[in-house]
Amino acid sequence: MGDSIFAAHVEEAEMSASSHPLDDCFLGPKGEQRTFLRDMISLVLDDYIFWRKNYYPKDPPGFLYRTLQEKTSVEFREKFIQELSWLTSDLKLEVPFFSPRYFAHIVSEVSLPGVIAYFATLLYNPNNVSSEASAVTTRYELEVGEQFAELFQFDIKRAFGHLTSGGTIANYEALWYARVAKFLPLSMASALKANRSPLPPELSRSVWELLNVPHAELEVLFEVFEAKAIQLGLDAGTLLRENSIAQLGERGFEERIRQQFGEGYREPVVLLPSMAHYCWNRALGVLGLGRKNICSLATDEQTRVDPHSFESALGKCASEKRPVLLSVGVAGNTEFGAVDPIDELVTARNAALSKGIYSPLHIDAAFGGYFACMFRKGAHSAVPSENLIPRRVQTAFSAISQCESVTIDPHKMGYVPYGAGAVVHKFGFLKEFVTEPAPYALDGIVEDSSPHLGQYIMEGSKPGAAAASVWFTHRMIPLNTDGFGAQLLSLCELARTFYRKMEALRSVSGHVELVPLFAPETNVLAFIVTPKGAKGLSSVNRLTRQVYQRFGVREVASIQSYDYLVSHTRVSTDSPLLDHPVLQALDRSKEVSLEIVRIVIMNRWLSGNTSSGASYIDDFLALAYREAEEIVFSA
């Protein structure tokens, strides 16, 4: 199969690396902005060194300058350079994320603001566990929290957002907060009962009712409780902590309730789309809740959660009186970039309230959160039309404002270095209920009026450099259509182009076919490679696997061995993805999963051309066809 058949497509889609407002934010695949990067790095470095030098400038140096000429010092530097060259030689085998030839995982070159601010702050090495160890960067972190709260249209005065080392920890934290909140009313009632205080009408409710108080009502309820505590001469916060589920544990709390109320409650469940990230399964294990208490929600043929599945799960929980700790929506999922219909989840959740069941909604937007920027108008550009981005995506993102918490990872679509995740809690006051009692020894830091993040979050010591990196990136690339919105829209467009080209090639004669599974909603494209006329899923899986192995990360002696890089995933054969026309009729008896090639587009330079003049996309498609043909023939 020659190259000629691609000529038409190359021409039709002739793409040039036309300039884009955000190109300046990146070093570029050839290090195009190297002069600027060098200049900035040397600026922040000198600036830092002289800050150091000029603190008590008359204090003498730590060691005499002449010692730097001594034999041991000279030898030290010699060894340093040798060892460093070993490190940098090793690093030459790292995967070339920066290249338009890499479209495998959710990773790319980081932005210049991200890397420069990280480096600048790394030198100062602040620790955001407390503002005592980070005079500036804790403030930055809280500002970033507010920016995310605003992005999702939460009330920024009431929300509490902060960074985490990654999305996994952010999701754990959301679940941890949800558990605290779920049992708060019951804790209040239990604490008063334990102190032989009559319950106020707001708390004189059944166990089930107390397990279904919306977060929005908790603050007022606490005031009622506080008044009662004062009557008892007790501190409400302490009283509540001593009777909390954190204090008593999963088993102890339920036992206590059973004793006090004459009835317990069933194990709480978490409603989770089947496409949710695997860290959610782990979260249930880590938090002592048990994975068996995950109720898995069905997804549709584009891997989005089915809102009817959610609705009926909620109904079932209501009728069985199973408390729902948390329901999760995904925007978008890491495998396929699909965005759950969050608006419909919100509607179903609100409707269920009338059945007496309340579930907080958490949106796992670790991957997709920054796409919300496409729908926030900046000063210089408009929100994309429906032709560019389906209305349903915008509607889904808008509905996050009705949810209780959200995870968003700056180190994914925010183009900053690892590790930077984030979580935003819409009801920020909940943070007061996760703190530990009487911390005599908070890393030696106590009762400052200044923010002490370590009290309210899962983690302890954490890099202020990550906060500065995100904060500065947001200064340079705003969270609206002028900034990230424009960048991410261009990626969605590229994914669509990729998809269309792939679809168009299917009509070309040959022995194999690259079949996209569905039109991408964001910047992820999934496809299979099938021998034409395949009878069984096995042969499709085999060919797909061979193709992704050909373009996958492997042991190489030089990165020059990689021409293009893709990733892969798989879904169980009972997934609606297998309803695809190409797959429907296949014999799937021998297979348990469908193998899939996965493409994630984060690099705008993919719109350019290779040295041969063909666009990267065409060049890859031609090559992938060629390789697949060859595999089939050589078999």
Omega before residue 332 within 30° of 0, cis: yes
Q: Does the footprint of a second copy cover residue 253 (CB under 8 A)? A: yes
- Compose the 489-508 pattern: x for residues touching a second copy by CB under 8 A, - for all others: --------------------
The nearer residue to a second copy, 98 or 358, going by C-beta atoms, is 98
Residues 110-149 close enough to bind a second copy by CB under 8 A? 110, 112-113, 115-127, 131-137, 140
The nearer residue to a second copy, 11 or 447, going by C-beta atoms, is 447
The nearer residue to a second copy, 91 or 585, going by C-beta atoms, is 91
Q: Does the footprint of a second copy cover residue 78 (CB under 8 A)? A: no
Count of residues that interact with a second copy, criterion CB under 8 A: 185
CB of 588 to a second copy, least distance (A): 15
Rounded CA-CA distance 211/194 in Å is 18
CB of 126 to a second copy, least distance (A): 5
- Short-list 181, 121, 199, 245, CA closest to 431: 181
Residues in Cβ contact with 393 at an 8 Å cutoff, skipping those fewer than 6 apart = 339, 371, 521, 522
Residues in Cβ contact with 197 at an 8 Å cutoff, skipping those fewer than 6 apart = 228, 231, 232
Question: Nearest 5°: phi and psi at 565?
Answer: -130, 130
Residues 310-349 close enough to bind a second copy by CB under 8 A? 334-335
Q: Across-strand partners of 329?
A: 363
Q: Which helix (H) or strand (E) holds 572?
A: strand 567-572
Tokens representing 311? 């609705």
Q: How many C-beta neighbours within 10 Å does residue 292 have? A: 9
Q: Does the footprint of a second copy cover residue 259 (CB under 8 A)? A: no
CB of 34 to a second copy, least distance (A): 5
CB of 257 to a second copy, least distance (A): 12
Out of 103, 160, 472, 551, which residue is the one contacting a second copy (CB under 8 A)? 472
The nearer residue to a second copy, 196 or 278, going by C-beta atoms, is 278
Residues 503-532 close enough to bind a second copy by CB under 8 A? none
The nearer residue to a second copy, 134 or 309, going by C-beta atoms, is 134
Residues 586-605 close enough to bind a second copy by CB under 8 A? 593, 598, 604-605
Cα-based distances in Å from 548 to 288, 568, 624: 38, 6, 9
DSSP state letter for 127: B
**Pairing between β-strand 512-516 and β-strand 524-531 as defined by DSSP bridges:** antiparallel
Q: Does the footprint of a second copy cover residue 53 (CB under 8 A)? A: yes
The nearer residue to a second copy, 94 or 354, going by C-beta atoms, is 94
CB of 262 to a second copy, least distance (A): 18
Q: Does the footprint of a second copy cover residue 293 (CB under 8 A)? A: yes
Tokens representing 352? 């269920």
Q: Does the footprint of a second copy cover residue 634 (CB under 8 A)? A: no
Q: Does the footprint of a second copy cover residue 50 (CB under 8 A)? A: yes
- Calculated CA dihedral for residues 550, 551, 552, 555, nearest 10 degrees: 60
Q: How many C-beta neighbours within 10 Å does residue 506 have? A: 14
Q: Does the footprint of a second copy cover residue 573 (CB under 8 A)? A: no
Tokens representing 78? 């010699």
The nearer residue to a second copy, 169 or 331, going by C-beta atoms, is 169
Q: Does the footprint of a second copy cover residue 196 (CB under 8 A)? A: no
Question: Nearest 5°: phi and psi at 463?
Answer: -70, 120
Omega before residue 419 within 30° of 0, cis: yes
Q: Which stretch binds a second copy (CB under 8 A): 184-192, 311-319, 405-413, 534-542?
A: 405-413
Residues 81-110 close enough to bind a second copy by CB under 8 A? 81, 83-84, 86-88, 90-101, 105-107, 109-110
Rounded CA-CA distance 470/162 in Å is 11
Q: Does the footprint of a second copy cover residue 443 (CB under 8 A)? A: yes
Q: Does the footprint of a second copy cover residue 198 (CB under 8 A)? A: no
Q: Does the footprint of a second copy cover residue 32 (CB under 8 A)? A: yes
Cα-based distances in Å from 206 to 67, 212, 264, 550: 77, 10, 10, 61
Q: Does the footprint of a second copy cover residue 71 (CB under 8 A)? A: no
